[in-house]
Amino acid sequence: MAADLRKTTRPAACRAARTRRALRPWLLLAPALGVLALLLLWPLARVVMLSFQDYGLREMNTGETRYTGLDNYREILGDPFLWQQVLPNTVLFAGACVVLTLVVGTLVALLLQRLGRAWRIVCSSVIMTAWAMPAVTGTYVWIWIFDPLDGVVSDGLAGAGLIEPRETNWFTDRWSFYAIATLNVVHHGFPFVAITVYAALLTIPRELPEAALMDGASAWQRFWRITVPTIRPVFAVVAILSTIWDFKVFAQVYLMPGGSGSNPDVLNLGVWSYVQSFRHNEYGTGSAIAVLLTLLLLAITVVYVRVLSREDQEL
């Protein structure tokens, strides 16, 4: 009888022990998850709730709630301004920034790999300075460089006779505006990619590129056939992070002349959401734009991760 009782209670005790072991990590993570839920999930839920309301200064003062369903989304999606100006600005700008950031960062990482220790430390310190510079400070530096009156670029091109002195404003044209913004974002973002990719390059066994070199492989073939497949997960991480960061760029656009709403041709989704909310006091419409931007980022990230997973399975 006692033996049967022990046989019965033993599996139950094992299950209880397994349950405690499974719950232990979640208990340790509970405080951090609670803070994240308070700081991230509640504001996100609040934005989603506002996107279904007609919410302005009157509602803010009175505390009234006027739900309008999907009216804000219908208004935004039916606005030609979204499809002709804002969405192309957002997608093309972010795509160019991501590609250029990855290319420049990877080239710098390959350069760091070939430098000696002293020069590697010097170059790493210099590029990390660009990353440490706040986005606001960096933006004002680029504004000064392209200032139409006293900027370095304007003065240089005017001195060479390529433009009329003090008559070319780089910030009024949509394409030149975003060219400057792209330089700003790439300059600020490539150090992260460079340091991350350089760290990944150090994990590649030295025998692999040496064997490929002995077989007569060119530098491009060694990079494409050995380096890229070996550190593909690192490229995936920096690409996804760069995509998220560049799609929601705000300061680099908002702080440039005309980017705060006075020049509607240069608005992207993030700045448009801010302008609708805090300049026009249409918080419901601004929240709906923010939700659309979040959904766009989620869709891009999911598609990108699935493509990478499919490629890994094929390899």
DSSP 153-186: HHHHHHHTTSS-TT---TTTSHHHHHHHHHHHHH
* Residues forming a β-bridge with 67: 53
Judge if 128 and 258 occupy the same domain: yes
Ramachandran region, residue 166 (left: φ > 0; alpha: ψ -120 to 50; beta: rest): left
Residue in this structure with the two tokens 């070199």, named with its chain if needed: 213
User: pLDDT per position in the chain (315 positions), as tens?
Assistant: 444 545 555 666 667 677 777 777 788 888 888 887 788 888 888 888 988 988 877 777 777 778 888 888 999 999 899 999 999 999 999 999 999 999 999 999 989 888 888 888 888 888 888 888 888 999 999 999 998 888 888 888 888 877 777 778 889 889 999 999 999 999 999 999 999 999 888 888 887 777 877 777 777 878 888 888 888 888 888 888 888 889 889 999 999 998 888 888 999 999 999 999 888 888 889 999 999 998 888 888 787 777 667 655 655
Name the token pair of 101. Answer: 């950031």
Tell me how far apart the 2 most distant CA atoms of the chain are, in Å: 104
Judge if 163 and 216 occupy the same domain: yes
- Count CB atoms within 10 A of the CB of residue 91: 15
Q: Give a yes or no: residue 293 inside a domain.
A: yes
Judge if 166 and 38 occupy the same domain: no
pTM equals: 0.82
Spell out the residues 6+ positions from residue 96 whose beta carbon is closer than 8 angstroms to its own: 178, 182
Half-sphere exposure of 237 (CA within 13 A, CB side): 10
pLDDT score, position 139 = 92
Name the token pair of 170. Answer: 């780089």
Q: Give a yes or no: residue 56 inside a domain.
A: no
Rounded Cα distance, 79 and 168, in Å: 32
Domain that holds residue 9: 2-44
Q: Give a yes or no: residue 57 inside a domain.
A: no
- Judge whether 142 and 183 are in contact, CB under 8 Å: yes
Judge if 156 and 25 occupy the same domain: no
Name the token pair of 231. Answer: 């550190």
- Judge whether 239 and 102 are in contact, CB under 8 Å: yes
Q: Give a yes or no: residue 53 inside a domain.
A: no
Q: Is 182 exposed, middle or buried (0-12, 13-18, 19+ CB in 10 A)?
A: buried
- Judge whether 138 and 188 are in contact, CB under 8 Å: yes
pLDDT score, position 13 = 64
Spell out the residues 6+ positions from residue 298 whose beta carbon is closer than 8 angstroms to its own: none
Spell out the residues 6+ positions from residue 294 whose beta carbon is closer than 8 angstroms to its own: 44
Judge if 28 and 90 occupy the same domain: no
Judge if 28 and 144 occupy the same domain: no
